[in-house]
Amino acid sequence: MKKYNEYTDNEKKQLIKKFYTNENKSFQDIALLLNTYPNKIRRDAIKFEIKIRDKSAAQKNALNTGKHCHPTKGKSRPESVKNKIGQGVMVSWESLSDQELKKRKNKAKDNWDQLSDDEKANMLQKANEAVRSASKTGSKLEKFLAQKLIGDGYKIQFHQEQTLVNTKLQIDIVIPSINVAIEVDGPSHFSPVWGDDSLKRNIKYDEKKTGLILGKGFYLIRIKQTKDYSVSRSNLIYDKLIHILDDIKTNNVKNKIISITDY
């Protein structure tokens, strides 16, 4: 095979198209075949107006061809490592400037605006179904807290009807042994997510539930969930919850209503 510099421009173009476009080889692979440098192949590809794969496509191609191994597929990480990674991501997001947050929100809005009416309707339908399901079976945060409490030896009642006598109201989590009720309040409990009328109904419903819970002599822990669910944030909430439960067990809590917020 001739040296790369000995080929004409037309021959170089055809070679790069053959190896890069048709056979999905990388510039490095092509350079090895043609005894030259990857950057020279890349510069010529740009010169010949051959479409260059972006970073995402290049990584996908490397995985598909077996040149690179997937960094996480088939591998497991300890929960401690996952939590550390999650907390790092959470801190990174919460450290964003107002300008950067606004930029990302605008980007999300632009993505939404580009959806078709059918796609928007489908997403809204799924969101409504998820909300209705969570109200019956528990949200991700509620299930997370329930599993953690069970793991720590607490016997709990989870979304059981008739917990409050002569009503159909449910309490998210009850710990009967220490007379504690835990309510996880998502955005629809304090923000007009579904409109002002829906918010008013939710506030009235919560006030009624609060009165019934206190009337039974229970402590009420209300967890205000202002942010999207994440395991890292949920662990921080659980740490706060456990401290409160320890104080309740040692009679170090005076107020019957205790609030936890996820920020």
CATH number of 137-261, picked from 2.60.40.10, 2.60.40.730, 3.20.20.370, 3.40.960.10: 3.40.960.10
> Which one is predicted more confidently, 180 or 128?
180
Which tokens is 249 given?
A: 């067990």
Which tokens is 191 given?
A: 């923000």
pLDDT, tens digit (0-9, with 9 covering 90-100), for 24-76 = 888 888 888 888 888 999 999 999 999 888 877 777 776 676 666 655 666 66
Cα 115 from Cα 157, distance rounded (Å): 42
Cα 254 from Cα 80, distance rounded (Å): 34
> 229 has which bridge partners?
none
State the pairing for strand pair 219-224/180-185. Answer: parallel
Tokens 């104080």 found at? 247
pLDDT at 108: 82
Tokens 């021959």 found at? 11
Separation in Å, CA 13 to CA 3, 38, 99: 15, 15, 44
State the pairing for strand pair 157-161/170-175. Answer: antiparallel
pLDDT, tens digit (0-9, with 9 covering 90-100), for 183-230 = 998 888 888 877 888 889 889 888 988 998 898 899 999 999 888 888
Are 122 and 132 in contact by the 8 Å Cβ rule? The answer is no
Cα 87 from Cα 71, distance rounded (Å): 20
Tokens 């309510």 found at? 183
Average pLDDT over residues 88-100: 71
H/E stretch holding 135 reads helix 117-137
In the chain, count of helices (H) and strands (E)? 10, 5
Are 42 and 16 in contact by the 8 Å Cβ rule? The answer is no
* Domain assignments of the chain as residue spans, ordered by start: 7-64, 79-134, 137-261
Tokens 């039974």 found at? 216
Are 145 and 241 in contact by the 8 Å Cβ rule? The answer is yes
Tokens 């051959």 found at? 50
H/E stretch holding 160 reads strand 157-161
Coil, helix or strand for 67?
coil
Considering the chain, what percentage of its residues have pLDDT values greater than 90? 30
Tokens 């109200």 found at? 135
Are 255 and 214 in contact by the 8 Å Cβ rule? The answer is no
Q: pLDDT-based confidence at 80, cuts 50/70/90? A: low
pTM tops 0.85, yes or no: no
